[in-house]
Amino acid sequence: MTSRLDELDALRGIALSMMLISNFVSDLNFFDIMDVAEGSGWWWFSRLTAGLFVAVAGVAAFLANRKGNTHQVLYRSLRLAGCAYAITLVTWIAIPQAFVRFGVLHLLALAGLFALLMRGRTWLALPVGTVCLLLPWLTLPEGEWLGLRGYDYVTVDYFPLKPWLGVFLLAYFAGSYTYAESRPRLPYEWPDGLLWLGRHTLPIYLLHQPIIVGMLLLANAILAGELLP
């Protein structure tokens, strides 16, 4: 694998590691074990994590488009969509009061299709991405998947098109300049473990929440004495 792909895998691995930590803290907050207030350090950490995760996906989509891998981008989007709606179904059964309607996988699946529309029109990603990024200043009571939601909306994973599609498209546009020349920008010897994480992001993402939630439920049962003789 090329150094350039290595650095993207490494950045994706860093983003995934941050997301594992962020989601663990979010689960603690969801189960009322820990209070994470909006605007707190952990809240900003989760936003930084999400931004890095989505931005790396945007750059990777540009590189795939430039190589002419249309079928690869389309297949990846369809695979992500399938996984996304599997998560919707599972969370609807497990936690109907806060099931995932439009999470990060839903976003990336749809963003991949937008990336296909940008092929040969990379410049278009700049204005469209900017509009999506600025739209959160508009508050409307409905249209949850668009990012237009009311204040009583509860979900464990929410990545609306505004602003996150904007982050994806702006990273897509930035990638066209960052990698205009076919050479790595971060030519380091990345740790093998980090590269491994970056190359297995989807299965790890799909498995980590059931494991974390299962551990929390088990710990709660032990502390409550339900598993003690």
Supply the pLDDT for residue 153. 60
Q: Residue 227: is its pLDDT beyond 80?
A: no
Q: Residue 2: is its pLDDT beyond 50?
A: no
- Write out the chain in H/E/C secondary structure: CCHHHHHHHHHHHHHHHHHHHHHHHHHHHHCCCCCCCCCCHHHHHHHHHHHHHHHHHHHHHHHHHHCCCHHHHHHHHHHHHHHHHHHHHHHHHHCHHHCCCECHHHHHHHHHHHHHHCCCCHHHHHHHHHHHHHHHHCCCCCCHHHCCCCCCCCCCCECCHHHHHHHHHHHHHHHHHHCCCCCCCCCCCCCHHHHHHHHCHHHHHHHHHHHHHHHHHHHHHHHCCCCCC
Supply the pLDDT for residue 229. 47
Mean pLDDT value of segment 7-16: 94
Percent of all residues in the chain with a pLDDT value above 90, rounded to a whole number: 43
Supply the pLDDT for residue 170. 97
pTM, to two decimals: 0.85
Q: Which band of pLDDT confidence, cut at 50, 70 and 90, is reported for residue 114?
A: very high
Give me the chain's average pLDDT, please.
84
